Amino acid sequence: MLSIFDWIRLSDNGAELMATLEYFKENKPDIFPEEKAIAGPVTLMNRPCSRCWIYPCSDNSGTDSIFCKTCHEIVARSRQMGRKSRYASVVWANVNLLPKNLNSRKGFYATSNVFGSYILEPSHFLLVLNRYKIKDWLQELLLYHGGSIKGLLQIFPTCGSTNRGNMNDILARAIQQDARFPMNMLRVRFFSSPFQLFAAHKREKSGMLTFEIMEFLDLLQMAFIYRSLLRPEDQQLVKELISLENPNERRFQWGRFSGSLKPEARDMLDSWNIPMWTKHQIILLYELMEYVEYASS
Ligand SMILES: [Zn+2]
């Protein structure tokens, strides 16, 4: 019989992952006893499910009869998840203690911002959440546990099935990499694309991957302020101006641009000294803007 974690790892894409977590929130995996698994030779009448390759196809007539009952349910539910999966983030955690309320699904975990969760063991859990609420989730985590929670939170987007890999491959890579740091503080590894998990060292080298928890929260807060104070067209302009090769032209254009801004936006850019930032700092700021909400002033 497949365990819930086995079913999770059958997910081809983010929508299937969320559908699997939702399905097993309501159902137990023991609906198929061992003897119902395909045992004999595969024949035309005795085909295994084309998704899990273990259980027999369900009796449903129609196109979905290539799936067993559970896969049929998961695939059908996943078709309703398209919109959600576009702004979903996955967290794979290896920590010294489980977050308060995760098991009982209270507090943050009771809100519609959590799209699914699974506790593998007291040190490992999986969480799929609204990516705009990562800051709120981390703040709640620290509120309850402060410095006593230690370990690694790997944060990455969901993905579709591509020739570079699927959701299952991404999860497997996250699991493989989760014990690479000592359990002496809480760290975040932030991947802005799921496939960065296959080349984590590149992102690490650029200083865009691993952060101490407070440092990561500060970066999210900066992205939040930046997104809220600068209009989208000005955000684009900043990117263009700081990439100008000629320093004199850059200084001149920057002065003109800065003079056209509202005082609070100008003060922010001045105090952060953005023109002196490295290319990778800027890229990270713009990536994190996709993970924070816009606050209208
Ligand atoms: Zn199946």
Query: What pLDDT is stored for residue 56 in this prediction?
Result: 87
Residue 223's contacts (CB-CB under 8 Å, 6 or more residues apart) are 285, 288, 289, 291, 292
Q: Distance (Å, rounded) from C-alpha 93 to C-alpha 183? A: 12
Query: What pLDDT is stored for residue 160 in this prediction?
Result: 87
User: Is the domain defined by 87-205 classed in CATH 1.10.1740?
Assistant: no
Q: Where are the domains of the chain?
A: 4-78, 87-205, 221-291
Has residue 61 got a pLDDT over 60?
A: no
Per-residue pLDDT of 9-43, as tens digits, reads 999 999 999 999 999 998 887 555 544 555 455 56
Query: What's the rounded mean pLDDT across residues 192-210?
Result: 96
Has residue 141 got a pLDDT over 60?
A: yes
Q: Distance (Å, rounded) from C-alpha 252 to C-alpha 272? A: 18
pTM for the structure as a whole: 0.91
- Phi, then psi, of 4 in degrees rounded to 5: -60, -40
Contact present, 13 and 23 (Cβ < 8 Å): no
Has residue 62 got a pLDDT over 80?
A: no
Q: How far is the CA of 211 from the centre of ligand 1 (A)?
A: 39
Q: How far is the CA of 234 from the centre of ligand 1 (A)?
A: 50
| Least confident piece of the model among 34-38, 73-77, 230-234, 264-268 | 34-38
Q: What long-range pairs does 228-232 form, CB within 8 A, spacing at least 24? A: 228/294, 228/295, 228/296, 228/297, 229/262, 229/264, 229/265, 229/268, 229/297, 230/261, 230/265, 230/268
Q: How far is the CA of 69 from the centre of ligand 1 (A)?
A: 7
Displacement of CA 122 from its chain's centroid (Å): 21
Q: Distance (Å, rounded) from C-alpha 38 to C-alpha 2? A: 13
Q: How far is the CA of 43 from the centre of ligand 1 (A)?
A: 17
Per residue in 223-240, is it b (16+ CB within 10 Å) or e — as a string? bbbbbbbbeeebeebbee
Q: How far is the CA of 50 from the centre of ligand 1 (A)?
A: 7
Has residue 218 got a pLDDT over 90?
A: yes
Q: How far is the CA of 19 from the centre of ligand 1 (A)?
A: 14
Per-residue pLDDT of 157-189, as tens digits, reads 999 888 888 999 999 999 999 998 999 999 999
Query: Hey, what are 30's tokens?
Result: 């023991």
- What is the per-residue DSSP string for 42-111? --SSSPBPTTTSSSBPPS--SGGGGS-HHHHHHHHHHTT-HHHHHTEEEEEEEESSPPTTTTTT-GGGGS
